[in-house]
Structure 1
Amino acid sequence: MFSSIGWSETIILVIAALVIIGPERLPGALRWTINSVRQVRDFAGDATTHLKRDIGPEFEELRKPLAELNKMRGMSPRSLVTKHLLDGDDSILRDIEGALPTAEDLDIAGRPAPAPAPAPAAIEPPTSSAPHGWQDTDYT
């Protein structure tokens, strides 16, 4: 019930209780709180027991649809469609998934991504002995 409360929150609550209630009345307040929580648990358990006894087999009939709903709650949309509409055969969905582009194929706006630019051509070293940009000319 209180699994999300950490040690730091517990310490803050104890300090707040000491300030608000006072150190002399804190043990009595803690006892009263613990007894109240136990009574609420007992009342809830007794109510369930009385329902099971009074309603009997009808109570179990009510639990079956609830159990089915809990099973459905854990299912994904794909498994629900596969189970109820496609009778467990998900080959159609696999074929559709194979035809759809993946996230890597799309840009941010959902359009097909442009093809990657080709790698630049390798620069060939000059074949002449003249400095770069100069032409070899024979003026003889």
Structure 2
Amino acid sequence: MFSSIGWGEIVVLLAAGLIILGPERLPGAVSWTMQSIRKVRDYATGASGQLRDEMGADFDQFREPIQQINELRQMSPKSVVTKHLLGGDSSSVDDLGRTVRETLDVQRLSKPSRPEPQAPAAPPPAPSLEKPSVTKRSHDYTDWDAT
């Protein structure tokens, strides 16, 4: 019933109770709360027992679909595969999972450590939009025309 309440919450509730009720009334309040919880639990158990007695076999017919729904809620992909495809034997799936984990561990250990990040290389110079300059050639062809 209180499986979701942790020790931290209990300490907070006790501290709040101590502050609000004071040290004189806190033990009485705790005992009253515990008695009330027991009574509620006894009433619920008694009501389900009385319902089971009155309905007889019909109660089990109503209870069976609820149990099936609870089983479906607890199903995981692994349990579905093992139940329907492997007949409930999960050893092969467990072996496969263990092998995959070992392979991943080996690969992770065999990878070299990350190299130091290098500064990015300087980008090549951008092409100029200006017209290239005309340079004088070493051979002057005008001399040939004169002859």
Q: Quick one: distance in 1 between partners of 2:75 and 2:44?
A: 30
Structure 2: state its 5+ residue gaps. Answer: 87-147
Counterpart for residue 12 of structure 2: 12
How many residues align? The count is 84
Q: Quick one: distance in 2 between partners of 1:5 and 1:70?
A: 22
Q: Quick one: distance in 1 between partners of 2:6 and 2:71?
A: 31
Between stretches 47-56 and 61-70, larger displacement belongs to: 61-70
Shift of 1:31: 1.3
Counterpart for residue 69 of structure 2: 69
TM-score using structure 1 length:
0.50
Shift of 1:49: 0.5
Q: Quick one: distance in 2 between partners of 1:72 and 1:30?
A: 38
Q: Output aligned runs, 1:50-61, within 5 Å.
A: 50-61=50-61
How big is the alpha-carbon RMSD for the aligned residues of Structure 1 and Structure 2? Answer: 2.5
Q: Quick one: distance in 2 between partners of 1:73 and 1:6?
A: 24
Residues 1:43 and 1:19: Cα distance change in structure 2 (over 3 Å): same
Q: Quick one: distance in 2 between partners of 1:10 and 1:69?
A: 32
Residue 35 (1) aligns with residue 35 (2): yes
Counterpart for residue 25 of structure 2: 25
TM-score using structure 2 length:
0.48
Residues 1:10 and 1:74: Cα distance change in structure 2 (over 3 Å): closer
Counterpart for residue 49 of structure 1: 49
Report the 3-state secondary structure (helix = DSSP H, G, I; strand = E; otherwise coil) of the residue aligned with 1:10: helix
Q: Per-residue CA shift, 1:35-78, capped at 9, x if unaligned?
A: 10000000000001100011111001111222222233333579
Counterpart residue identity of residue 34, structure 2: I
Which structure has the higher relative contact order (CA within 8 Å, separation 6+)?
A: 2
Counterpart residue identity of residue 25, structure 1: R
Report the 3-state secondary structure (helix = DSSP H, G, I; strand = E; otherwise coil) of the residue aligned with 2:22: coil
Counterpart residue identity of residue 33, structure 2: T
Residues 1:51 and 1:21: Cα distance change in structure 2 (over 3 Å): same
Counterpart residue identity of residue 47, structure 1: A
